[in-house]
Every structure is written in C-alpha cells, then in structure tokens.
Amino acid sequence: MNAIQEILTVCNRIRYDRDLDSVFDHLEGEVAELMSEIDKAFYGDEPGEDGILGEAVDVALCALDAAIIANPGITEAQINEVVSRKLAKWERIYGGK
C-alpha cells in the first residue's frame, strides 16, 4: 500500500465525528508545532522528538484529512493528479536543477 492509499484508508476508517472545524483546530496546533521545530533548527536548538520531518508529516496528514472530509469519495487517482499538478507548478515557480 502506498502513502496516499494508506492515508485514504486510515482517514476513512477513523472518521467518527470529525468535521472540517475539528480538523482545522488540529491543523492549527500541528502548524504551531512545525513552526516551533523550524525555530529550533534556525537557532541551533535541540529538536523535539518528531523534529521538522515528523511535524511536517503531521501538517500534511491533517491537511489531507480536511481534503478527504471536504471531498467524500475522493480517490487516490484524484489526489495524485492534484499532487502532480501542484508539483509541476512548484517547479515552474522555483525552477529545477
């Protein structure tokens, strides 16, 4: 199972009473934790247990959870198409090597 398949599976399995408002609240907390880890790295402080990578993954998972809740029945192919389009845009804007 690839990462997108696993995210879809878990998000759909744990749905319960989550809605966009509750996911947004959780996302705010995860973004704050990521910002804290970035600050630690910038100032040369010891990273937390998850570090930048772990907190960035938490942010991405929360954001994708919001997208899944907002788009019931969204498929892996649809997510992959958007990811490809966004990556191409990033490369156009920031340039490739």
Domain of 23 in residue numbering reads as 3-94
CB atoms within 10 A of CB 41: 13
Answer yes or no: are the C-beta atoms of 15 and 2 closer than 8 Å: no
Which pLDDT belongs to residue 12?
86
Answer yes or no: are the C-beta atoms of 34 and 88 closer than 8 Å: no
Is the pLDDT reported for residue 27 higher than 70? Answer: yes
- If one compares 97 and 57, the residue with the highest pLDDT of the two is 57
Q: How many domains does the chain have?
A: 1
pLDDT tens across 68-79, in order?
999 999 999 999
Q: Compute CA distances 35 → 3, 30, 31, 76, whole Å.
A: 24, 9, 6, 29
Over range 5-22, report the average pLDDT: 88
Band (pLDDT 50/70/90 cuts) for residue 15 is low
